[in-house]
Amino acid sequence: MTIQTTNSTRFGLPQGVLTIIATVFAMALTDAIIKLSSSEMTLWQIWILRSAIVVAILLVATKGRVLPPGTGWIIARSAALVVQYLCLYAVLPLMDMALAGAAFYTAPFFIVGLSALVLGNRVTPAHWLAIAIGFAGLLLIVRPFAAAFTPLILMPIAAALFYAIAAILTRAKCADTPALILALWLNIACLAFGLAIGAVRGLIVTPDWAGFIFGPWHSMAGSDWAMILMLCLLIIGIAVGLAKAYQSPRPEVIATFDYCYMIFVVFWGYVFFGEVPDLWTLAGMALISAGGLAVLTIRDSGPSRP
């Protein structure tokens, strides 16, 4: 059954494309900062500190109007994004940003499939070709059959699935919800999960690779607080940007430009960690760019089916 959406949102496709590019730029920067801080703080500590500040700011910005129609769907969307972050950040300290980012950006495939299945959008062969070009670029970067391949790569792929679910929920069920409300609920969810992890972390046995998620609370230096404040600004922009981008029409087109994250994550990997991309990575980035640019020339196949 096709889920009906309203057309009351005034955020058009061109604005959505520009917004998703700016948002994934900030997402890549956030991931680099999280990876950089993983030896100093744990994720649940970061979520509690960051989200407590952001929730307070957004409560003021929204004037306390936190229960709009469809709050259950908003909570479901927020939970999907939190699980996405958990799957991605659990392994981010253990692999290069380019590898984790490339695996994560299988998300557009999930988004296009769900867009056709749930929203009823017609996905043209040209759209599939553009995304396939981008995915071919990802394969050049990941090289799944190389000796350095690790099963941990399945974690960011799982993150991609939950990211896609959140994107489709944004369009199908939250299209008329103000972006600040969606941002507020995402941070409420992050704060709740951070508190929950803090409460249970001493009661469960966790694998070594999940130490960044379940490790102990660390003391805070001035630089740590500066990092938290930077993450507060970034998460507000990301949360609002994601909401606005996927509230625009044609989420399968927005998903194609999501691939720009890969370019930005390689850039920040070089800036923060000196990770120099090899020729395979550069070739993959070129294909990712080609896939994104190709979608600009694709003629819309018409409205969604009723």
pLDDT digits (tens, 9 = 90+) for 269-285: 889 988 887 788 788 87
Q: How far is CA 232 from CA 89, 110, 255, in A?
A: 17, 29, 25
Task: Give the pLDDT of residue 101.
Answer: 79
pLDDT of residue 102: 75
Residue 219 in tokens:
């003391």
Inform me whether the pLDDT recorded for 97 exceeds 90. no
User: 144-198, pLDDT tens digit by residue?
Assistant: 666 666 778 889 889 999 999 998 898 888 888 888 999 999 999 999 999 999 9
At residue 169, what is the residue type? L
Give me the DSSP letters along 226-249: HHHHHHHHHHHHHHHHHHHHHHSS
- CB proximity list for 176: less than 8 A, separation 6 or greater: 6, 8, 9
Q: How confident is the model at residue 103 (pLDDT cuts 50, 70, 90)?
A: confident
pLDDT band at 7; cut points 50, 70, 90? very low
H-assigned helices in 38-124: 43-61, 71-91, 97-104, 107-114
